[in-house]
Amino acid sequence: MRRWWLDLGSFAVALALAAAVVLRWRRGHVALLSSTAAPAIRLLALLIVFVQGCADRLRGREEPDGQGAVPGSQDMSVGAGPSQQVEEDMSQGANAPESSGTTPTLGPDAFPLADEAALGRWARLVADDGFAVGPGKRFALALVPVPEATPAQDPRWLQVASALEALADAAGGAEGEAFRSRWRAHVEARKAGGSETIAELQALLSSMEALPLYHAGLAGYVWRRAAPLPVSASERAELFGRIERHLRACEALLKGQFETGPIEFTAWRSKAAPPVGYSGLKVPKGLLAAAKGHYPQIDAGTWTVEATLSLTVVDAGVTLLRAGRASELQAGQRFTLGRLDVLASGRPAKLRHDELGDMSLGAGAVVTAWDVGQRLARPGSERVRAKVAAAQSDDSKALEQLQSILPAAHLEIRRALAEKPQAPGSPGLRTLLELFDQ
């Protein structure tokens, strides 16, 4: 039972506080915020913003998508998921049917980390521990920048091997051993100058995901290894579809962490040994739920919206395979070719780029952003070559133009860089290539 003097006391304290604020306000005094009052002020501000947000919603002042976006703007990071983009494309064409002949089989599209335990295993592989970067990140940093045809005696391979062993050890278990043997074989093949098959690349990706290691840099690496391989449309679309899901999972985890706070590391401070399995990593509460919530709508980030090529279909009969879906493109339809898309043509067909002109697809052709430039007619190829030559002579305008046609130009850029790596504009071209390769 509460006593009357408790109520009176509380009232008096509140009155004194209010009086102190009013007096300070009237006298123009300013005081430093104490560390005990700071959280209360933060909480009050949070409450005000929350109430304001609710009031805005009630008044209907919010945009229809409920995110307060600027009119006419589009949220490129969450709203334009792959399936949505296909629908946008379809809306521009007439009655675009869905093709089934080349549709890859990807299975249900669910967030890959099923529970908190899986999330914890992922965090151990990617998060920094306060002393060193996470083993997954270290492996990616060692492997991804190693250029093609790097000789076996190059010291960078030693770093790759060391990082691979550390990562496999950190993962542990049968999955860790499978990962180790798959990737070790891949590294050895690369050192020997050999190339891989699409099945081997699928297996590399599977071995990563089994750990579970979801890492955009390594997924991009797998894409770059797979892109030049001559394989069927469905095989390629299947791998690209899997990479797309992998990248979306990475984006969802990133977005989730921005809301819940990052994974934090606390060093073990006791004299006693830490418990078995202690990592010091603290996965924020709610991260799994946040990432799972974002996953259905999120796109593959830069892989969806950057390094793309806008094309128009001249002849019907071209199928676009994107994110596990196949869609027939109609004559006259405009679409954006991304790095994770595959085009397949059942019969000879043409595509048109506004500036570079026509590109031909023979019967049974399989085209991706990697090799679309090879389909250009001679005038288009020469335009690309001229732009690359100009950019290599340090023409900044040409560099800007190349950025908007990267899929059509990257092979020519690679050729030019191999020929003249020290040319004045070569560093700019190398920076541009990074935007295509990662």
Q: Which of residues 401-420 bind other proteins (CB under 8 A)?
A: 403
According to CB under 8 A, which residues from 107 to 126 bind other proteins?
A: none
By three-state DSSP, how is residue 335 classified?
strand
59, 147, 197 from 361: Cα distances, Å: 54, 30, 24
268 lines the binding site for other proteins (CB under 8 A): no
Angle among Cα 205, 207, 211 to the nearest 5 degrees reads: 115
Applying CB under 8 A, which part among 81-89, 171-179, 267-275, 300-308 lies near other proteins? 300-308
CA dist list (Å): 210 to 14, 114, 182, 204, 373:
58, 12, 12, 10, 35
Residue 9 found at the interface with other proteins (CB under 8 A): no
Q: Which stretch binds other proteins (CB under 8 A): 202-210, 264-272, 283-291, 350-358?
A: 283-291
Pick the closer one to other proteins by CB: 34 or 95: 34
Stretch 200-219 residues interacting with other proteins (CB under 8 A): 215-217
Binding mask 65-104 for other proteins (x = CB under 8 A): --xxxx--xxxxx---------------------------
Check: CB of residue 170 under 8 Å from CB of residue 133: no
Q: Which stretch binds other proteins (CB under 8 A): 26-34, 332-340, 342-350, 382-390?
A: 26-34
Residue 18 binds other proteins, judged by CB under 8 A: no
Which helix (H) or strand (E) covers residue 322, if one does?
strand 318-322
Is position 40 an interface residue for other proteins (rule: CB under 8 A)? no
**Residue among 328, 334, 327 at smallest CA distance from 351:** 334
List 106, 118, 133, 203, residue binding other proteins (CB under 8 A): 133
317 binds other proteins (CB under 8 A): no
The footprint of other proteins on residues 168-187 (CB under 8 A) is: none
25 counts as binding other proteins under rule CB under 8 A: yes
Could you tell me how many residues of this chain bind other proteins (CB under 8 A)? Answer: 72
Burial of 416 from C-beta contacts in 10 A (0-12 / 13-18 / 19+): buried
Report 369-408 residues binding other proteins (CB under 8 A). Answer: 396, 399-400, 403
302 binds other proteins (CB under 8 A): yes
By CB under 8 A, residue 150 contacts other proteins = no
Binding status of residue 267 toward other proteins by CB under 8 A: no
Q: Does 149 bind other proteins (CB under 8 A)?
A: no
Considering only residues 224 to 263 of the shown chain, the ones binding other proteins according to CB under 8 A are 250, 254-255, 257-262
Tell me: does residue 62 bind other proteins (CB under 8 A). Answer: no
Does the protein bind other proteins through residue 199 (CB under 8 A)? no
Nearest to other proteins of 135, 324 (CB atom) = 135
**Half-sphere exposure for 141 (CA within 13 Å, toward CB):** 11
C-beta contacts of 202-207 below 8 A and 24+ residues apart: 202/238, 202/239, 202/242, 205/239, 205/242, 205/243, 205/246, 207/175, 207/178, 207/179, 207/182, 207/183
**What long-range pairs does 386-392 form, CB within 8 A, spacing at least 24?**
388/412, 388/413, 388/416, 388/429, 389/416, 391/425, 391/428, 391/429, 391/432, 392/416, 392/420, 392/423, 392/424, 392/425, 392/426, 392/429
Which of residues 48 and 377 has its CB atom nearest to other proteins in the complex? 48
Return the residue of 1, 30, 192, 272 that touches other proteins, per CB under 8 A.
30
Does 322 bind other proteins (CB under 8 A)? Our answer is: no
Angle between helices 135-143 and 155-171 (to 10 degrees): 150
Minimum Å gap between C-beta 421 and other proteins is 10
Structure letter (DSSP) for residue 105: -
For tokens 């091997």, the residue is 161
